[in-house]
Amino acid sequence: MVSRAERGPLADWFWTIDRFFLAMFIFLMGIGFMLSFAASPAVAERIGLEPFHFVKRHAAFMIPSIAVMLGLSFLTPRQVRRTAILLLIISLAMMVLVLFVGQEVKGGRRWIWIAGLSIQPSEFMKPAFVVVCAWLFAEHARQPEIPGNLFAIILFGIVAALLVAQPDLGQTILTTAVWGGMFFMAGMPWIWIMLLGIGGAGGLLSAYYVFPHVAGRIDKFMTGEGDTFQIDTAREAIIRGSWFGQGPGEGVVKRIIPDAHTDFIFSVAAEEFGIVFCMALVALFTVLVLRGLSHAYRERNDFNRFAVAGLVLQMGIQSIINIGVNLELLPAKGMTLPLISYGGSSMVAICVTAGFILALTRHRPEKRAQDRSLFRVPHGMPAE
């Protein structure tokens, strides 16, 4: 145990970190590792790998992911901003490179091989994009003559264009929703809200007519016709699980779900542990988002407020999309469940998000004392 009397980076970190957030992140990662034992062996055997191939890789990805999360949690808000700017520049450059030399999977170019590892740059772009936009919105709020909102709009346009070029409509919708939420919190005029809504609707309509795979997924969702095997089996797994599940390792339907260890791990959880377990999982994500928004509401610093709110919204909306697809409430879209699903890039990137949240929500007594001193009445002057 670290004593409060100690002084040093580790002691300061221990007594200023939001331990509830830290415990929640690690707990969710533990649930994800547990579910990988249930979801991944059947997938590995189906593609000719040894049963625990993905379990071992999941464990291997967890170690650097937790290290990244804890390392970033030591940063100050200024260091978070600088780290995000650097990460965003690298991610955008790699997203451009992906369009030319990226690995094509299921009709999209989203991955690039570096040092034997398959990396999805857009995953790392998301937390960096949120933090940089939060800084731009905050600078405009602090000094209206600085065109921070305009720069944020231009940056959003660049990011959206690169995502559409891959194409990755799901990440585009997620990024747009988070950016719109932050812009709204930053005091977006109602005319901009209307324009953003019209633009979003126009973008979805254009995607329907431009990208055949998008039209196919929407048509399948609306009519129930066509190849709906993965969605149907996911729904069957949830129904078979009933309230309390079939028990660990007793799932049967999970064996034929193609992406059981990634996009449809929620259905595997429902079959083996039941609807009650899934409701508890949804409650955990809900509490995580609400705690982040509550912290943002109490925060005086605009940058911290916008960044924390945007980062927890990103995790929350991504969870909604993944769970909504599993429950057949949304059209099929490949998107992982944060901290739960298997995936190297997604796991490390989500831990970057978690690390930024931990760094920005740390209690800073010296800052509060400085804030109070700004309002202290000098000696000899009458108080109003």
Tens of pLDDT, residue by residue over 3-31, are 555 567 787 887 889 999 999 999 999 99
Specify the pLDDT at position 162: 92
Structure tokens at 247: 């028990």
**How big, in percent rounded to 5, are the helix, strand and coil portions of the chain?**
70, 5, 25
Share of the chain above pLDDT 70, in %: 90
Tens of pLDDT, residue by residue over 201-211, are 887 788 777 77
2 pLDDT more than 70: no
Specify the pLDDT at position 105: 67
The pTM for the full model equals 0.88
Q: Are 323 and 37 in contact (CB under 8 A)?
A: no
Mean pLDDT of 100-122: 77
Structure tokens at 63: 């170690």
383 pLDDT more than 50: no
Rounded Cα distance, 223 and 228, in Å: 10
The amino acid sitting at 191 is I
Tens of pLDDT, residue by residue over 283-330, are 999 999 999 999 999 888 899 999 999 999 999 999 999 999 888 888
In DSSP terms, 111 is beta-bridged to 103
Task: Quote the DSSP letter at residue 49.
Answer: -
Half-sphere exposure in the Cβ direction for 365 (13 Å, CA) = 4
Specify the pLDDT at position 107: 62
In b/e form, how buried is each residue of 172-191, taking b as 16+ CB within 10 angstroms? bbbbbbbbbbbbebbebeee
The amino acid sitting at 363 is H
Element (H, E) at 169: helix 169-185
Specify the pLDDT at position 3: 56
Q: Are 105 and 61 in contact (CB under 8 A)?
A: no
Mean pLDDT of the chain: 84
Tens of pLDDT, residue by residue over 259-280, are 888 888 999 999 999 999 999 9
Pick the closest to residue 172 from 157, 185, 182, 151 (CA basis).
157
219 pLDDT more than 60: yes
Q: Are 317 and 301 in contact (CB under 8 A)?
A: no
Q: Is 380 left (phi over 0), alpha (psi -120 to 50) or beta?
A: left
44 pLDDT more than 80: yes
Rounded Cα distance, 333 and 328, in Å: 11
The sheet carrying 108-114 orders its strands as 103-105, 108-114, 117-119
189 pLDDT more than 50: yes
- Of residues 257 and 157, more confidence is placed in 157
Q: Are 270 and 241 in contact (CB under 8 A)?
A: yes
Share of the chain above pLDDT 90, in %: 43
Structure tokens at 263: 């996009």
Q: How far is CA 271 from CA 10, 78, 268, 287, 331, in A?
A: 42, 45, 5, 24, 21
Range 160-163, long-range pairs (CB < 8 A, 24+ positions): 162/92, 162/95, 162/96, 162/99, 162/122, 163/95, 163/122
Number of Cβ within a 10 Å radius of residue 243:
9
The single residue listed with the structure tokens 């145990």 is 1
Rounded Cα distance, 72 and 365, in Å: 20
Rounded Cα distance, 110 and 65, in Å: 21
